[in-house]
Amino acid sequence: MSDSDFRLSNLDIPEEKKNVNEEPQFIPMTFDSGTGILQHDTVEGIVDEAREKVLKACKMLVDEGLVARTWGNISARINDELFAITPSGKAYDTLTPDQIVVVKASDCTWMGDIKPSSEKGIHASIYLDRPEVNMVIHTHQFYASAISIIGLDVENVSELSSEAGELVGDRIPCAGYGLSSTEKLRNNVRKAFADNPGSKAVLMRNHGAVCVGEDIDSAFHASRLLEEVSKKLYSRYCLGDVADEPAGESRMYVEGDTSAPSWARKAMINGNKCVVLSKKPYTVKVSRQGMAIRPYIDDLAQIGGVNIKCVMPEGSTSELKKALRNSDAVLVKGAGAICAGKEPDDAEALATVLEKGCAAAHLAASFGDVKPVSRKDALLEREVYVTKYSRLKKTGDDKNNKASDWTGKIKSLLKGLKKVK
């Protein structure tokens, strides 16, 4: 079945029910459920403290290169019932304390009209199940995301890093795959932690990782050490065949740039006004194969498309436009990839996600018998991102953002789909 035979655009996505307070305030703390649970004089101080912890963790993770843009989510416990979490669709580098959302762990309702991260359920389960945890970090970090596609637990962590074994635990489980923001994903992560009470990190298959800690430092170092261990495992799985050469010089072209070559101007379709010729190491390495790749990590399906085709460098611009018809990225054999976006940072972000996706594809080829995200799941991820979530970055309209809570909508969508492998 071709991509053109399998569309979600004509399906009716149910409207999200919501009850947003017009004037969010701490007296009393009223959630969507209408439950007032705390008063101003007992909560304001600890809420402010938790929000500051989240912002501090955001900065630490950005500086370390473990998170970027709006990817991932970070939270801090307020008390037994509440936690503070990053909002949906807002970049880490511009966050302010008032944008950090207070969520009730028992039912995931929240205070105010800024929506919390769509993965708030994962955080809620951890705080409910692990009373010693005061900080939760969910990332799409490079090597941890890449090795997650294998679907294997990481055993004997101490042999890879004694520090990681001591802090994170000697076993890092891999939770089964689930679509972003769904109960399935939440339950899979919850089970992985429950089955491994000594672990402070869980890989999320084809997605990313979750790390926990008693405080900011322990959760942050768990994420950092997880990446260190994952990079070593990646090299082992690939038998040392890694793309460790420096990245080549990438080029950015924007609409109206008279110096832009013909192919760059032709690549600006589907409303995209910028293109990047990416020369990142794994992108170049995978492009040399001259073959299309499917996403092994779901964020590439969301941002790039369900099938990243490959064109020849001497090919025609019509072939390039055709390859970009249902995707925002295309590999160019031996030369890297062309990534398109509506704004320069969108194109750059796609190049970053594609690099991780190419690293995953290289690992899959080296390891053997590793399957990409199913076409059905990839299309679902792509549709929700393109039609809903990506609008939030452009408009900043939290109230009309339906993508941040599409748990439960998947069943409705799937009823209208044909069975696709």
State the catalytic residues. Answer: 119
For residue 176, give both structure tokens. 């089964």
Query: Taking the CB of residue 96, how many other CB atoms lie within 10 A of it?
Result: 9
> β-pairing, 101-104 with 274-278?
unpaired
DSSP-derived secondary structure letter, 404: G
Q: Is the peptide bond before 28 cis (omega within 30 degrees of 0)?
A: yes
Question: Phi, psi at residue 312, to the nearest 5°?
Answer: -85, 145
Dump the DSSP string for 228-294.
Answer: HHHHHHHHHHTTT----SPPPPPEEEETT-TTS-HHHHHH--TT--EEEEE--HHHHHHHTT---B-
C-alpha dihedral sign at 168, 172, 178, 184? negative
> β-pairing, 82-85 with 73-77?
antiparallel
Is there a contact between 264 and 321 (Cβ–Cβ < 8 Å)?
A: no
Dump the DSSP string for 60-96.
Answer: HHHHHTS--TT-SEEEEE-SSSEEEEPBTT--GGG--
Angle at 286 between CA 345 and CA 328, to 5 degrees: 35
Is there a contact between 242 and 234 (Cβ–Cβ < 8 Å)?
A: yes
Q: How far is Cα of residue 344 from the mean position of the Cα atoms in its chain?
A: 20
Question: Phi, psi at residue 12, to the nearest 5°?
Answer: -90, 110
Using DSSP's 3-state secondary structure scheme, residue 331 falls into strand
Using DSSP's 3-state secondary structure scheme, residue 210 falls into strand
User: What's the one-letter identity of residue 300?
Assistant: L
Kindly list the distances between the CA atom of residue 18 and the CA atoms of 99, 197, 243, in Å, as whole numbers in the listed order.
19, 35, 47
Q: How far is Cα of residue 305 from the mean position of the Cα atoms in its chain?
A: 14
Residue matched to tokens 């923001």:
181
Which element (helix H / strand E) includes 298?
Answer: helix 298-303
